[in-house]
Structure 1
């Protein structure tokens, strides 16, 4: 029994893999959470009009702060892992806006030294809010 393979039968699979690898260009880091009050901020002072209505906001850690250049930037963020299994919300990606510098936030974050410190609303959207920190994939929009 000889079997011939049509090379075109693999084309859909190859296209899918190329698309997957092309769109997976996010960075990997860590995130913690912090409670309100979120004002004043290093980026916008006491101007809460700069906050997204959804309250999906974040403070930038040293890794992405760039001397304030990250102020106002938007990032897609998703939880990829934690110390405790089942903590991440599966397949959930959110968009956050950088409004502050993690080194200057007025309330104590759950963990210091992370890539981003997410508002309680943002953190709870991608992970169980009882987690202290999470591993994230993020990409600037």
Structure 2
């Protein structure tokens, strides 16, 4: 019985390593307004949802529309004291961000939830949720 249980634990650990939750990735976020006529903004978006635009790597010709990502600030490329606020937030993708090298374009009210408004951009740890 103990051998079966330990074999199950080993199999569970191996499975979580191979097929587990996707690892977080890193990207850059900056302040950007989201226009009312964003590429995939729907009338039925909850007013409580935090909206975002994403770069081409996440936009994927529109298939990124409607996806949600958890963002956590991990630093900045600028020498700003305390570029991050100790929290994370979840955003809903509603638009494409055409700026080169930017992963997320966030409205100011979203940006300041995770980053110092004095930082021109922040580095975020992100994962789809």
User: Shift of residue 56 of structure 1?
Assistant: 1.6
Establish whether residue 43 from structure 1 lines up as the match of residue 40 from structure 2.
yes
> 2:93 aligns to what?
98
Where 1:123 maps in the other structure, the secondary structure is helix
Contact 1:55 1:119 in 2 (8 A): no
Partners in 2 of 1:123 and 1:139 — Cα distance? Answer: 17
Structure of higher CA gyration radius? 1
Q: 1:130 to 1:140 in 2, by over 3 A?
A: same
The residue aligned with 1:78 is 72
In 2, Cα distance between equivalents of 1:35 and 1:25 = 28
Task: Give me the CA root mean square deviation.
Answer: 2.5
Describe the shift of the 1:32–1:119 C-alpha distance in structure 2 as closer, same or farther (beyond 3 A).
Answer: same
In 2: Cα distance, 1:79 partner to 1:135 partner? 6
Shift of 1:48: 4.1
Q: Which runs of 5+ in 1 are unaligned?
A: 1-17, 104-110
Residue equivalent to 2:125: 137
Q: Which residue of 1 aligns with 2:110?
A: 122
In the aligned structure 2, how far is the partner of 1:27 from the partner of 1:85?
23
| Residues 93/140 of structure 1: CA separation in 2 closer, same or farther (3 Å cut) | same
Structure 2 unaligned regions, length at least 5: 1-15
Picking from 62, 71, 75, the partner of 1:68 is 62
TM-score (norm. length: structure 2): 0.74
**What is the total number of aligned residue pairs between the two structures?**
111
